[in-house]
Amino acid sequence: SYDLTQPPSVSVSPGQTASITCSGDKLGDKYTFWYQQKPGQSPVLVVYRDTKRPSGISERFSGSNSGNTATLTITGTQTMDEADYYCQAWDSPSGVVFGGGTRLTVL
Amino acid sequence: QPQLQESGSGLLKPSQTMSLTCAVSGVSVGSGTYSWSWIRQPPGKGLQWIGYVFPGGVTYYNPSLKSRATISLDTSENRFSLELTSVTAADTAVYFCARGDGLGETWFDPWGHGILVTVSS
């Protein structure tokens, strides 16, 4: 099976840049997607196809993907960005695979 | 943006069959290139994809759940469903339905609010 590895937690000070990584074998050859999930809510797509931002998502969210690592970057982090973030990719024959999630703390 | 709403039995006993439905508004489940998916999240844990169905009824499942899961479309009611047989406590989770986009390398947007299903004797 295909595995995606994320750090369990990342901390950042308000106004600074947060980087959340997602690692997998030859991940750069696949598309990576990122979701934000706040407590008690359903996930929201924040980046798709490595770098694209859905309508309505802040420009502070950006993504990159190369080699074995994809990265979600949040610039000018705000307290409202505090959430769990999940990466996702597709692999044959595993199908859709999610990373274990990263809790972003803004303090 | 379409809206999705899950419904179904929230409490089951081990060995029973789980049946959930996702009502969709704002887009037809029977047309286009979108897929319709189920994803679950055990309490305090991460996301696990269960499977999805395309218009026309073609389905793809997580290999770890394939033997127990069935996802189907009801175009007359504009909804899709999940059946999961022989449930155990390990199936306790919040179950989300979501629209899938992108043929092959699929992403999910939007998601329903989720429904908690508890399996307990």
pLDDT in tens, B2-14: 999 999 999 999 9
Interface residue B5 vs chain A (CB under 8 A): no
Q: Do A43 and B47 touch (CB under 8 A)?
A: yes
Contact residues on chain B for A3, CB-CB shorter than 8 A:
none
Q: What angle do CA B69, A90, B115 make, to 5 degrees?
A: 45
Q: How would residue B40 be classed by pLDDT, with cut points 50, 70 and 90?
A: very high
Tell me the torsion sign for CA atoms A37, A34, B83, B52.
Answer: positive
Q: Do A43 and B108 touch (CB under 8 A)?
A: yes
Q: How far is B102 from chain A (nearest CA, A)?
A: 9
Contact B108, B37 (CB under 8 A): yes
pLDDT tops 80 at residue B69 = yes
Q: Do B108 and A35 touch (CB under 8 A)?
A: yes
pLDDT tops 80 at residue A88 = yes
Q: Tell me: the pLDDT tens digits for A19-64?
A: 999 999 999 999 999 999 999 999 999 999 999 999 999 999 999 9
pLDDT tops 90 at residue A2 = yes
Interface residue A2 vs chain B (CB under 8 A): no
Choose among B24, B57, B16, B62: nearest CA to B40.
Answer: B62
